[in-house]
Amino acid sequence: MTKRIIAIAFIFVCTSVAWAILGGTIFSRTYSLDAIAENRVASTWGAPQNQSPPMASFKHIVPRKEESTENGKKIIKTIQDEVTTTLPLESSVVDVNLDLEHRQKGLLWYSTYKVAFAGTYGFHNTSDKEEVVNFVLNFPTAKAIYDDLVFTVDGSPVTISNQQNAAMGSVKIPAGQVTHLVVGYQSQGLNEWHYSFGSNDVAQVRDFSLKMKTNFKEIDFPDNTLSPSEKHEAGNGWDLTWSYKNLVSGYQIAMVMPEKLQPGPLAGRISFFAPVSLFFFFFIMLIITTMRGMELHPMNYFFLAAAFFSFHLLLAYLVDHVSIHIAFAISAAVSVFLVVSYLRLVVGLHFASREAGLAQFVYLVMFSYAFFLKGFTGLAITIGSVATLFVAMQLTGRIRWANKFSLKPSEEPAAELT
């Protein structure tokens, strides 16, 4: 009995090493190409976006006198300086529609999205005369496309030019008038969408409103960003509103796109924790066979360990081609089939299909599926472990282990063949 347990332990250790190598290989495949894959996604779809409000300014000449001395004589020159004056932003009404569309590259899903942006901005010409005002809209990123671009002032389209990742147009604005610039576009981005107030430090905004509509429920806001003033569920997503009369803040408005279940990291974690499930399975098999007087040779345990390992090996390479749920179901079915079909030849169909099949389903399939339950994996495994301990203690409470371990190999019960 003791030699058998030592042999089983050796098989367990060797299989655990194989799982560690497989898990490391999965994570290496996943993250070694992550940066390259993300750059490819950004280049073909779009990069994370950070939109800032447009700016309005005009240039005018301000004369100044400059004194100098030449040949002992004081000379006063009048110099014409060109000064740029920025128009104050009086109001902002922004509408954003975020449409999430996940895309897979390798073993990772990326949170890509479509964005429809529209904004109406009020600028006040504080000059006492008519000025030619330059309106500039900086695009949120250079790595994106901008379709259906709208650029109007007081309802009239403006001829725009593209300069350094920005759209610029010029319009004559009467003295003291508040004019409204309307901008909009359709674009695509990755992972996050931001709206800043035009400054990296503390900025002031007046009469501000931003309404955001999402097609996803799992909304998340990054650290150091503003929470919405109002939020309401709408269909498959949310209607969010940020509204401020006079805000002074260094924070931004931002939305993090929810991540899809990542097949690579999930398969890697399942592989790293696989020795725990095999330990419970071997433990239950040893208890049941001991109680029933069955004999499973260490070679039998070797093949059972190999059948367990086949689940994780198959899962690791199926997730490249099919969804994680389909890959999990196929891998589980193959592994269970291997164990049941093998044990029916060793100890009979009744034990193979009931005790062994049920134990494998619980400790391989259900244990592994616990990793799908984000936030509850540890609790699910703990409950299963405690339940296993309770059942084992109740079943073996009357066994005299001293007698079991004192049996000589020739005295051990014969294997059940039916």
| DSSP of 71-122 | TTEEEEEEEEEEEEEEPPEEEEEEEEEEEEEEEEETTEEEEEEEEEEEEEEE
pLDDT the model gives residue 199: 66
Please, is 327 exposed, middle or buried when counting C-beta atoms within 10 Å of its C-beta (0-12, 13-18, 19+)?
buried
Q: CA nearest 258: which of 53, 25, 79, 101?
A: 101
Instruction: Compute the average pLDDT of residues 214-242.
Output: 91
Strand order of the sheet with strand 73-86? 73-86, 55-70, 131-138, 166-173, 161-162
Tokens of 175: 């003295």
Q: CA nearest 53: which of 226, 197, 207, 202?
A: 197
CA distance 356 to 15: 19
Q: Are strands 131-138 and 55-70 parallel, antiparallel or unpaired?
A: antiparallel
pTM: 0.71
CA distance 143 to 138: 13
Instruction: Compute the average pLDDT of residues 26-48.
Output: 74
pLDDT the model gives residue 37: 64
> pLDDT tens digit string along 323-347?
889 999 999 999 999 999 999 999 8
pLDDT the model gives residue 26: 87
> pLDDT tens digit string along 342-376?
999 998 898 888 889 999 999 999 999 998 887 78
Could you tell me what percent of the chain has a pLDDT over 70? Answer: 93
CA distance 206 to 92: 8
Count other C-beta atoms under 10 Å from residue 176's C-beta.
12
Judged by DSSP in three states, 359 sits in: helix
CATH architecture of 45-59+77-256: Sandwich (2.60)
Q: CA nearest 363: which of 278, 299, 268?
A: 278
CA distance 25 to 316: 9
Amino acid type, 320: D
> pLDDT tens digit string along 132-151?
999 999 999 988 889 999 99
Say if residue 412's pLDDT is above 60: no
Count other C-beta atoms under 10 Å from residue 67's C-beta.
8
CA distance 31 to 24: 11
pLDDT the model gives residue 405: 64
| DSSP of 180-194 | EEEEEEEEEEESEEE
Among 103-107, 151-155, 288-292, top mean pLDDT goes to: 151-155
pLDDT the model gives residue 336: 94
Instruction: Compute the average pLDDT of residues 161-182.
Output: 90
Could you tell me what percent of the chain has a pLDDT over 90? Answer: 47
CB contact at 8 A, 45 and 190: yes
Count other C-beta atoms under 10 Å from residue 390's C-beta.
10
Phi, psi of 189 (to 5 degrees): -145, -175
Which residues have CB under 8 Å from 307's CB, separation 6+? 335, 338, 339, 342
Q: CA nearest 160: which of 184, 188, 194, 178?
A: 184
Please, is 183 exposed, middle or buried when counting C-beta atoms within 10 Å of its C-beta (0-12, 13-18, 19+)?
buried
Q: Where are the domains positioned within the chain?
A: 2-32+262-411, 45-59+77-256
Please, is 347 exposed, middle or buried when counting C-beta atoms within 10 Å of its C-beta (0-12, 13-18, 19+)?
buried
Calculate ∠ Cα 93-94-99, nearest 5°: 160
Say if residue 407's pLDDT is above 70: no
- 30-39, 136-145, 208-217: which has the minimum mean pLDDT? 30-39
CA distance 250 to 252: 7
Q: What is the dihedral of CA 262, 267, 268, 273, to 10 degrees?
A: 130
> pLDDT tens digit string along 41-89?
777 788 899 999 999 999 877 777 777 777 767 777 777 777 888 999 9
Judged by DSSP in three states, 151 sits in: strand
pLDDT the model gives residue 299: 93
Amino acid type, 63: P
Say if residue 252's pLDDT is above 80: yes
Do you know the residue count of the chain? 418
pLDDT the model gives residue 36: 65
